[in-house]
């Protein structure tokens, strides 16, 4: 009997539910498959850095699987539609009896899987697994069997459910009798790739697990007091690994509990656990409301906001040339490394939507095109939160002041100085409003003046939202 594991966003050997299930029968021949779909990636504006991260991890996975006697085949097809007949033929050629895969919850991905199962019905048994979440979407609902609209009660219900029984990790497969086998060559992918800094994001499951372990030992306990300051490494930075499935959320949970045993009861580490639950919240939400995958706001009246969508301003935001140092430094961090600190994601998203009055979907798209940790559910959730169009969003009249946000979360300007050397001579206390200082002292700065006045922008945005709400 032959078992096929179709790898997608689960590029790991350890704690991979589909892979473990495929390997359970020790007599089965197990083979793996990964299909790159460049046209689909273009349509989804996959970031070249994430494409690079995927490719590097495919190399690592291919070698690790071959060591265990599991050949990983790779192919390049245009898009998801093309996958269906191709896999069907692949199953024929390789005499596949059963297909194992881990669910993806995005709409196009779900449609593809439903179509494939239908196509294979009757000659290949298909089994899907809820692998990329701790609890399956649909398993944490309100008393009225609806998805929660607000995070806090969701989180409470979630923790209660977790306390009833933790989802366990599964082992990496043992070597098959055929081990080691030859690793098939990796297909070339016709998609731009850009290498990320491997000091920041080292490649491989071992490196990812070490990063997770180190954070849970040394950072998770103080996460609540350190997480908001972008100048320090107060967060785990495991998001790129979670996004493409080099790490699983179960590994995160169990490592956390091994190092911080009181995290489930609100002790040290609980705030970080809450972030993992945010991740689940947005995945559950997107599964329950597929319209979120089609660019729809959760709050429908926000569809009527008359966006300004000024191209020049949008370009200035993308390039980190808005004249607001915390915004610009943040955008440079993302443009140059593929990752941005969470506090900064909130600040720049708020700035785009509420200071420049640009449609949040433009920012959402730009983020995905840059981020090494791009994830549709988390990104959409974060943008809709910032734009006050989503579930549990900040109310529309709550507008971040980019200058005071900078003063609060980068008080000494250590983060800003790292990314904006042009502000080198500006004293710390003036760093968040450098032109007031420069004008007073007759200094010229090689740095743009603010492209909008925050106070005026705030008034205009409030008016635009109010008009939309009334219409």
DSSP character string of 323-354: S-HHHHHHHHHHHHHS---HHHHHHHHHIIII
Give Dmax (Cα) for the chain: 79
- Which of residues 70 and 273 has its CB atom nearest to ligand FAD in the complex? 273
Q: Is 307 among the residues known to form the active site?
A: yes
- Which of residues 183 and 271 has its CB atom nearest to ligand FAD in the complex? 271
Site string for ligand FAD, 378-417 (x = CB under 6 A): xx-xxx--x-------------------------------
CA–CA dist 314, 337 (Å, integer): 20
Q: How far is the CB of 224 from ligand FAD (least distance, A)?
A: 11
- Which of residues 39 and 275 has its CB atom nearest to ligand FAD in the complex? 275
Is 371 a binder of ligand FAD (CB under 6 A)? yes
Q: Which residues of 122-143 are buried (b: 16+ CB within 10 A; e: fewer)?
A: eebebebbbbbbbbbbeebeee
- Binding residues for ligand FAD, rule CB under 6 A, total 28
Q: Are 417 and 408 in contact (CB under 8 A)?
A: no
Instruction: List Cβ neighbours of 93 (8 Å cut-off, separation of 6 or more).
Output: none
The single residue of 275, 304, 335, 435 carrying the catalytic annotation is: 275
Piece in contact with ligand FAD (CB under 6 A), picked from 168-176, 229-237, 284-292, 310-318:
229-237
Is 237 a binder of ligand FAD (CB under 6 A)? yes
Count of C-beta atoms within a 10 Å radius of residue 97? 15
Q: Tokens at residue 417, please? A: 């100085």
Q: How far is the CB of 352 from ligand FAD (least distance, A)?
A: 9
Q: How far is the CB of 349 from ligand FAD (least distance, A)?
A: 4
Please list the residues that pair with 306 across neighbouring strands. none
CA–CA dist 379, 357 (Å, integer): 19
Is 276 a binder of ligand FAD (CB under 6 A)? yes
Is 196 a binder of ligand FAD (CB under 6 A)? no
- Which of residues 74 and 155 has its CB atom nearest to ligand FAD in the complex? 155
Q: Say whether 25 sits in a helix, a strand or coil.
A: coil
Interface contacts to ligand FAD, rule CB under 6 A:
227, 235-239, 242-243, 275-276, 278-279, 282, 342, 345-346, 349, 367, 371, 373-375, 378-379, 381-383, 386
Q: Annotated catalytic sites, by residue?
A: 275, 278, 307, 342, 360, 383
């Amino acid at each position: 009997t032959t078992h096929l594991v179709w790898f997608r966003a689960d590029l790991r050997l350890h704690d991979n539910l589909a892979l473990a299930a495929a390997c359970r029968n020790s007599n089965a021949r197990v083979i793996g498959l990964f299909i790159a779909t460049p046209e689909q990636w273009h349509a989804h504006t996959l970031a070249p850095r994430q494409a690079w991260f995927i490719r590097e991890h495919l190399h690592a996975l291919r070698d690790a699987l071959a060591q265990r006697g599991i050949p990983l085949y790779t192919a390049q097809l245009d898009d998801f539609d093309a996958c269906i007949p191709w896999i069907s033929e692949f199953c024929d050629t390789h005499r596949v009896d059963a297909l194992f895969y881990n669910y993806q919850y995005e709409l196009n991905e779900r449609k593809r899987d439903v179509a494939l199962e239908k196509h294979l019905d009757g000659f290949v048994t298909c089994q899907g697994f809820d692998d990329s979440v701790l609890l399956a979407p649909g398993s944490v609902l309100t008393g009225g069997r609806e998805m929660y609209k607000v995070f806090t009660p969701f989180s409470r219900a979630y923790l209660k459910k977790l306390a009833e029984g933790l989802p366990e990790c599964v082992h990496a497969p043992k070597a098959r009798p055929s081990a080691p086998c030859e690793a098939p060559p990796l297909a070339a992918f016709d998609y731009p790739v850009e290498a990320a800094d491997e000091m920041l994001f080292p490649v491989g499951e071992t490196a990812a697990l070490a990063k997770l372990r180190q954070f849970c030992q040394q950072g998770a306990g103080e996460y609540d007091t350190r997480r908001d300051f972008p100048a320090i490494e107060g967060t785990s930075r495991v998001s790129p690994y979670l996004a493409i499935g080099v790490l699983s959320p179960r590994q995160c949970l169990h490592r956390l509990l091994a190092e911080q045993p009181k995290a489930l009861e609100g002790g040290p580490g609980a705030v970080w656990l809450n972030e993992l639950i945010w991740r689940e919240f947005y995945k559950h939400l997107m599964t329950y409301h597929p319209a979120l995958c089609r660019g729809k706001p959760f709050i429908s009246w926000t569809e009527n906001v008359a966006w300004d969508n000024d191209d020049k301003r949008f370009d200035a935001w993308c390039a980190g040339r808005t004249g607001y140092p915390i915004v610009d430094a943040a955008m440079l961090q993302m443009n140059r490394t593929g990752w941005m600190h969470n506090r900064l994601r909130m600040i720049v998203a708020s700035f785009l939507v509420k200071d420049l009055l640009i449609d949040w979907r433009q920012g959402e798209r730009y983020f995905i095109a840059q981020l090494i940790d791009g994830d549709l559910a988390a990104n959409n959730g974060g943008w809709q939160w910032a734009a006050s169009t989503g579930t549990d969003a900040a109310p529309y009249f709550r507008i971040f002041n980019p200058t005071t946000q900078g003063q609060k979360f980068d008080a000494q300007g250590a983060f800003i100085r790292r990314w904006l050397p042009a502000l080198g001579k500006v004293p710390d206390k003036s760093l968040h409003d450098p032109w007031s200082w420069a004008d007073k002292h007759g200094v010229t700065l090689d740095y743009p003046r603010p492209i909008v006045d925050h106070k005026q922008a705030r008034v205009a945005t409030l008016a635009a939202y109010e008009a939309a709400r009334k219409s």
